[in-house]
Structure 1
Amino acid sequence: MTDLQAIADRFEIEALRGEFTDAATMHDYDRLASLFTPDGVLRIPEANAEAVGREAIRAGARRLQDLWEYFVQTIHPGTIRLDGQTASGRAYISEFGRLRDGSSHSNYGIYHDRYRRTAEGWKFTERVYELRYLDTTPLTGSVPHPATASAEPSK
């Protein structure tokens, strides 16, 4: 692998992680599921949630996100270890939101990832969320207007 290829691979994997965060925050379950290989796995042990395969990931993400009144996830760079056609890494996450039951959550966690290069580009083969900090103090803010899906970002 050339140095330029390694740079391109890292860039594509970082973009994949960003797409996941955007799809989750924007409730775009089809896009979120498409970021995984057909046999990909998404695990959230603290929520006792595991989804295997794109359809299960799509349905599981919808089920979990439907619990939230609002939800925002922010990704922070982590590590990427390339190994030919596969890679592994970690991404650091901060999230906050309010559930429809009125409870609030502000948390920080780590995604432990495995990736595979496919004909469509890099995809997740496994993404495991590890919760590192949880604050359930009620959020004092509110949504200034009803949340709506916005158009794709301008190019």
Structure 2
Amino acid sequence: MKSLLKIQSVVLLGGSLFAWYTVYTDFKRFYDVEGTLFRVQDCIIPNPVTTPCFYGAFAFLIAFIWSLYIINWQSEKRSWHQSRLVWLLIASTLFAWGNFGFTLYKFWLSKGAPTIGCSGVLSTSPWVTPCFTGAVIFLIALIVGIVLKKKLQNTQPVSV
């Protein structure tokens, strides 16, 4: 059981590192172009605070920290928190795939021409955008989380 809990944390750590690296490079690019971090309107590229990656990075970080606590909690508390973490992962996965779906729609409308992706970078394919990568990592984390939730529920003693 502990190894599956650790796998969940490793997946969420990977997602956090990927998302925060993306946010960092987005902020760096934005500052290099705009000369400030505080402009939100009339920008050449979108301020990273207005992009889905910024909010996805927070979701990854919260889920990762929560998963570390779950490893150390007692089994009855662990099961309750794992099922709540799964709800966060469901919401995060829907958010990520929804944003990727919007990116895919923009690519479809452009008829194959390069399009501004979710992090404000010109992309030639929706499959190489951070939205797609983040959505896949969230989906993997959700699958691991659901499997873990089921295993934790099966190990709980039934009270009569």
TM-score relative to the length of structure 2:
0.27
Higher alpha-carbon Rg: 2
